[in-house]
Amino acid sequence: MIFHKMGLKEKIRREINRLSITLMKIEAAKRIHEERRSKPFSELTLVTALAHIPLFPEHLETIYLNSAMGDLKKTLRFLKELNKTISSKLEYSYILIKRKDIEEAISILSSIFSAKKISYMDLIDKVNSIKNLITEIYAMIRERERA
């Protein structure tokens, strides 16, 4: 299990941070995509070309998007492991009420990876919903620790 070395609470907090960064990457890719449509030539391309490393907006958009998708794959693995952990360890039984939501989040992430095309807004909405779910679980753990 991935929760042995680090507590579940800490692992969830890190996952929330990862999803926040993932959302920023998706937003950056979205802005580059929109800017590319409005301006055919990018200042970034000129600046990077002067440094002998021309970087076109579509390349940068792809870099941000691929990085975000890599983060989402890690989140998918985390959610699967979380699902196993809460169902097998008695100490996390109070989180079982969120099991259906966790399974739905796993399904949402799987659908993102299997989709041929997804809009930036749909992707942002889905990632936000998963982040909110994980934040709720984190709040449950914190509340349990305080009691």
At 40 the pLDDT is 67
CA distance 38 to 114: 30
At 1 the pLDDT is 46
Give the torsion through C-alpha atoms of 32, 16, 100, 93, to 10 deg: 170
Q: What is the mean pLDDT of each run of 10 residues along the chain (147 residues)?
A: 68 96 97 82 78 84 95 97 87 84 94 92 96 93 83
At 102 the pLDDT is 93
CA dihedral sign of residues 27, 135, 10, 107: negative
Question: Alpha carbon of 105 to those of 13, 63, 102, 131: distances in Å?
Answer: 17, 25, 5, 9
For the chain, what is the radius of gyration of the CA atoms?
A: 19
